[in-house]
Structure 1
Amino acid sequence: MSKKKEARIIDMIRSFLIACSFLTVLPVPRPDWTERNTRFFSLALPLVGFVLAAAWLAAFLLLSCWDVTPLLRGVLMGLVVLAVTGGLHRDGLMDSCDAIFSRRDRETRLRILSDPHSGAFAVTGCVAVSLLQSAVFAELFARPVGVTPLGLLAAIPVWSRLGLGLLLNALPFARDDGLARALGAARTPRHTAVLILGAGAFAAALAGLEGVRALVLPAVWLAVLLLWGRCCTRGFGGIAGDLLGAFAELSETAMLLALAALR
């Protein structure tokens, strides 16, 4: 292996470790946050999704063995999903709700995104997503063993992080500084193409394993991705860190609702 390829692999591993330590509470080593170490950050996001998928699946299987009501298991599963990311995305959702529903001009919305205080819209959005996710998990736990497609359940955080990578690569930055610009500093059209191809390959793999019904998830994911991308562009002039977090929460909630509708 050439030194150039070896250096590229090392940079990819470092980008993955940085992404995993930033987006999860898992105790992984964190390399120095440098431009070189983060140049594959967006490509590492789906890999973090697979790590979260393993956590989702493990928690769901463990809770399935506990002889308590589906409601309690659903609430606990919702808390696991929230805890494994340290509430990072939920915080972005809350800030985004305050900004969007303020119905103010673009500059004021951007200031609200940076405001550490939470308003009524933030609390409302947080409660709504928490209730919906817990309710869906309770519904899945209430079904007979073997009915819930565990492969599709585990795929949800992967799809969500694929969307984060595409938004980070494809949209302009809402601010001249900020988290999104720092994370997407090394983005390239090539990275966008790789993520799109990866999304297509992932959808095909899921369809092969779970059948045509698996295509419901990427269809819902794509709809949320396009709608949220338009919302970010028109309402904020581009993407910001909090808006990325909001997409993760909204896309996961939408896909969970779609999964609950499958029989």
Structure 2
Amino acid sequence: MNYKQFFLSKKNLDLVLKNLPQIICLAFILILAIKLRVDGTFVSDNMGQHFYYESLNIAEGYRLPLAGIHISFGGFIGPLSYYIGAIPLIFVKSVYAMSFFIALLNLFAIILSYVLVKRYFGSTAALTSSFLITVSSSAVFFSKRIHNTSLMPFFIVLLLYTLLRVIVDKDSKNLVLAAVASAVLIQLHLYGAIFIILTIMLLLIFRPPVNHRHVIAAIIVFIFLHTPLLLFEVSHGFENTSAVYNGLTHTTKSVSSYEPGG
């Protein structure tokens, strides 16, 4: 069946007409989201500039960092944020490319949140939540901000969606995607660890049936995405782990020497 036959078939046409108000509302929300996130200037600061240039170094092949963002109280998190930030810069080496990429990823967060809420709470709730996210001043601001944390909304929604698929729909294949989202979040900001704790708690509380192969695959993927940081830890005698631990216990020790590429 070609596209013309698909749209002209009575069954599919009736389905479109039945959902036409919802389709129009969703289209309006997405158009508004695009305008609010792309229109105007982007925002950056010293951290944003550092994030951009580290990502640009990867895109240009100058170096592949093993550690990422410096934590305020000492130590480093993983470098995955730099590698994600490098994706648009591979094609267009411009700060505008990164700005557009961040806006696009936040647009995908709205779309995925709509899919999530509609699946579990219905169309009205999905449209309402999507509209509120679209016009949220903080969501719009971070969509225009060149910063590693501006990548978080999409992966937060992705993690929540995959967890619901595992817990509610009993589909343990989604554990792999949940592992990807968790690994990314903790390497975007240390507070991402909260989502890992939340994931473990929800799985322990609800105990959904899981395929052991999916669990093993999720663990392997999570560890693999931390490979650069693990190599950094080994090459520096786990000095970074010590710095993070001491930082969490309110001491001031920090990593004494750091070469992102070594």
Length-normalised TM-score, structure 1 = 0.29
Larger radius of gyration: 2
**TM-score normalised by structure 2 residue count:** 0.29
